[in-house]
C-alpha cells in the first residue's frame, strides 16, 4: 500500500486526462461538456470522484443492457394509433387542442391513450397514504409496488404490516425498491420479514456491488407506483416514510401530489411494472386476466389519460420532450410545481419564451433546501426567468413542497415522479400521467392556487439584495447544474 501512494497523484492525473478525452468525444450537450471539463481540470480529485460516480454513461453499454421495454410496450403499439384517432374523433376538446403531446407520447412509448378512467387527485400526504393502505388491505389477488424510498420508520412499518396482513390471505405481492433510495432499510432487518413470506417477492433495483466506488449511482429507479388487482393504480411524487407525512421536524408539513386511477390506464402502469420486474429479476410475468382485466363492460369515467414512462435505455427522453412541448404550446396559463428546478437550455428557453409571449407562467419551488447544492442551482435561475415575465413563488420555509405537477391552458396536467431537472429528464427511471380532463385540471389548479397562499412571491428587487457570498454560491452551483 505504501508503495502505491507515491504514484497515486500521477495515476489520478492520467485517469483525469482519459476522462477528459471521454467527455470531449461523448457528444453531450455543450453545457454538460464544459462543466465536466472544468471540474476535471481545476478540481482533479473531486472531479475524478464525481465523474466516476455520475459522469460515465453506462446506460447503453454493459450495466444497463437494452432490456425488453419494447417487448412489453411494443405489444401495445398497434393499439396506439387506433386509440388516439378514435378518441380524438369523439370530440375531446383537450385532446384536440394538445394533440402534439398525444402524438409524442404515443410514438415514443408505444402505449395507448385510454379514456375509461376515473382519477382522484390527492394534495395531502396523510390522505394519500391512508387511501393506499385501505386499498392494499382490500386487495384480493395481487399488489405490485415500486418506490424509490421505503423507510424503516413508523410509516414504513404501517405499510409493511398491511402487506403482511393481506399476504396471509393468499394475495401475491411484488415489491421493487431502489438500492440507493432505500439503502438504510435494505441494510436493516426491515425487509427480512417480508422476504420470508411465501406470497411476497422483493427486488432491489440495481444493487451496488462496490459501495465505496459506486458506478451505479446514476440511473436510479425514481418511480413511485402501486397497482392493486389490476384495477387500481397510484402514482405521484411521494415516497414512504415519516418525513413524507409531516412527522419530521426538519421539514414540517410535507406537501405532495399523487393520483389514484381506476380504469383502463392501470393497464399501462402494470406494463411499466412488468418491464421493471423483468429488469431486476429477469422473470417475465404472464399477461393473464388477473393482471390485465377486461374493462370493456365497466364504465369508470371519461378522464383521458396517457401513462408515460421514461428511462435511460429508451430511444427518446420522453418526459423531457413532453415537458418541452407542454411549455412551448402554452398559450394562456402554465403552472409548474417542482422541488428542483434545474432546466436544460431547451426547457429554459421554452419557459422564457412562453412568458414573453404573454402566457401566465407561474413557478412554485421550495422555500428551504433539502439538498443545498440543488437549492442554490434552483435559485440561480430566478433572475433570468423573472426578467422574462415568469412569476416565481417559494413555498413556506416551515413547510416543504415536493409535488411534480404541470398544468397547461386549463386543459392538460402532468403528475408523476419527474422533477424539472436534468436527472429526471435524462438519467433516472421516471413515470408520469398526462391527463386531458378539464375537471381534473381545475382541481389541480385549485390546489396550486391554495399553495400560493402559503408562498412568497419573488421579485427582481429581492434578488438584488442577496449577498456576494450567496451570489457566488449560486454561480458555482449553476456551473454544476448540468451534472446534478
Return the residue matching grid coordinates 397510484. 234
From the list 222, 352, 362, 447, the catalytic residue is 222
- Nine cell digits for residue 75: 405489444
Q: Enumerate the H helices of 213-303 as residue ranges.
A: 266-281
Say if residue 462 is exposed, middle or buried (CB neighbours under 10 Å; 0-12, 13-18, 19+): middle
CA separation for the pair 472, 484 (Å, rounded):
17
Q: Which residues contact 47 (CB under 8 A, 6 or more apart)?
A: 16, 19, 36, 39, 40, 41
DSSP code of 6? G
Residue 360 appears among annotated catalytic residues: no
Say if residue 445 is exposed, middle or buried (CB neighbours under 10 Å; 0-12, 13-18, 19+): middle
From the list 144, 174, 306, 402, the catalytic residue is 402
Q: Enumerate the H helices of 4-151 as residue ranges.
A: 8-24, 30-42, 44-50, 69-73, 77-89, 93-97, 99-109, 125-137
CA separation for the pair 367, 445 (Å, rounded):
20
Residue 471 appears among annotated catalytic residues: no
CA separation for the pair 433, 224 (Å, rounded):
12
Residue 402 appears among annotated catalytic residues: yes
From the list 224, 306, 352, 362, the catalytic residue is 224
Residue 153 appears among annotated catalytic residues: no
From the list 142, 352, 404, 447, the catalytic residue is 404
From the list 135, 153, 178, 229, the catalytic residue is 229
From the list 135, 396, 409, 451, the catalytic residue is 409
Catalytic residue numbers read 222, 224, 229, 402, 404, 409
Amino acid at each position: 500500500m505504501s508503495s502505491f501512494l507515491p504514484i497515486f497523484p500521477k495515476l489520478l492525473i492520467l485517469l483525469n486526462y482519459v476522462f477528459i478525452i471521454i467527455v470531449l468525444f461523448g457528444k453531450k450537450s455543450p453545457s454538460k461538456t464544459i462543466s465536466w471539463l472544468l471540474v476535471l481540470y481545476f478540481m482533479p480529485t473531486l472531479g475524478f470522484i464525481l465523474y466516476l460516480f455520475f459522469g460515465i454513461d453506462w446506460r447503453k453499454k454493459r450495466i444497463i443492457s437494452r432490456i425488453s421495454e419494447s417487448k412489453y410496450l411494443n405489444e401495445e403499439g398497434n393499439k396506439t394509433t387506433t386509440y388516439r384517432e378514435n378518441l380524438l374523433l369523439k370530440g375531446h376538446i383537450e385532446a384536440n387542442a394538445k394533440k402534439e403531446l398525444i402524438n409524442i407520447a404515443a410514438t415514443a412509448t408505444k402505449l395507448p391513450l385510454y379514456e375509461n378512467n376515473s382519477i382522484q387527485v390527492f394534495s395531502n400526504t396523510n390522505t394519500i397514504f391512508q387511501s393506499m393502505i385501505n386499498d392494499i388491505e382490500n386487495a384480493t389477488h395481487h399488489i405490485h409496488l415500486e418506490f424509490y424510498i421505503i423507510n424503516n420508520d413508523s410509516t414504513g412499518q404501517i405499510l409493511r404490516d398491511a402487506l403482511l396482513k393481506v399476504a396471509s390471505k393468499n394475495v401475491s405481492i411484488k415489491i421493487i425498491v431502489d438500492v440507493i433510495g432505500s439503502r438504510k432499510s435494505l441494510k436493516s432487518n426491515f425487509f427480512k420479514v417480508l422476504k420470508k413470506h411465501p406470497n411476497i417477492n422483493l427486488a432491489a433495483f440495481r444493487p451496488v456491488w462496490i459501495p465505496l466506488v459506486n458506478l451505479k449511482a446514476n440511473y436510479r429507479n425514481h418511480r413511485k407506483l402501486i397497482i392493486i388487482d389490476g384495477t387500481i393504480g397510484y402514482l405521484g411524487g411521494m415516497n414512504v416514510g415519516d418525513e413524507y407525512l409531516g412527522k419530521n421536524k426538519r421539514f414540517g408539513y410535507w406537501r405532495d401530489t399523487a393520483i389514484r386511477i381506476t380504469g383502463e390506464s392501470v393497464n399501462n402502469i402494470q406494463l411499466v411494472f412488468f418491464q421493471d420486474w423483468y429488469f431486476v429479476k429477469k422473470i417475465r410475468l404472464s399477461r393473464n386476466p388477473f393482471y390485465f382485466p377486461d374493462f370493456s363492460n365497466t364504465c369508470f369515467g371519461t378522464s383521458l389519460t396517457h401513462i408515460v414512462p421514461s428511462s435511460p435505455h429508451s430511444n427518446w427522453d420522453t418526459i423531457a420532450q413532453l415537458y418541452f412541448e407542454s411549455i412551448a404550446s402554452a398559450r394562456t396559463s402554465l403552472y409548474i410545481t417542482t422541488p428542483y428546478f434545474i432546466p436544460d437550455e431547451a426547457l429554459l428557453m421554452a419557459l422564457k419564451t412562453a412568458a414573453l409571449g404573454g402566457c401566465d407562467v407561474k413557478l412554485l419551488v421550495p422555500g428551504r433546501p433539502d439538498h443545498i447544492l440543488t437549492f442554490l442551482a434552483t435559485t440561480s435561475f430566478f433572475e433570468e426567468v423573472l426578467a422574462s415575465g415568469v412569476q416565481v413563488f417559494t413555498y413556506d420555509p416551515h413547510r416543504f413542497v415536493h409535488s411534480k405537477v404541470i398544468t397547461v391552458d386549463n386543459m392538460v396536467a402532468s403528475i408523476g415522479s419527474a422533477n424539472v431537472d436534468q436527472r429526471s429528464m435524462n438519467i433516472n427511471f421516471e413515470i408520469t400521467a398526462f391527463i386531458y380532463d378539464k375537471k381534473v385540471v381545475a382541481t389541480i389548479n385549485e390546489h396550486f392556487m391554495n399553495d400560493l397562499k402559503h408562498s412568497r412571491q419573488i421579485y427582481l428587487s429581492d434578488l438584488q439584495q442577496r449577498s456576494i457570498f450567496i451570489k457566488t454560491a449560486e454561480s458555482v452551483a449553476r456551473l454544476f447544474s448540468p451534472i446534478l
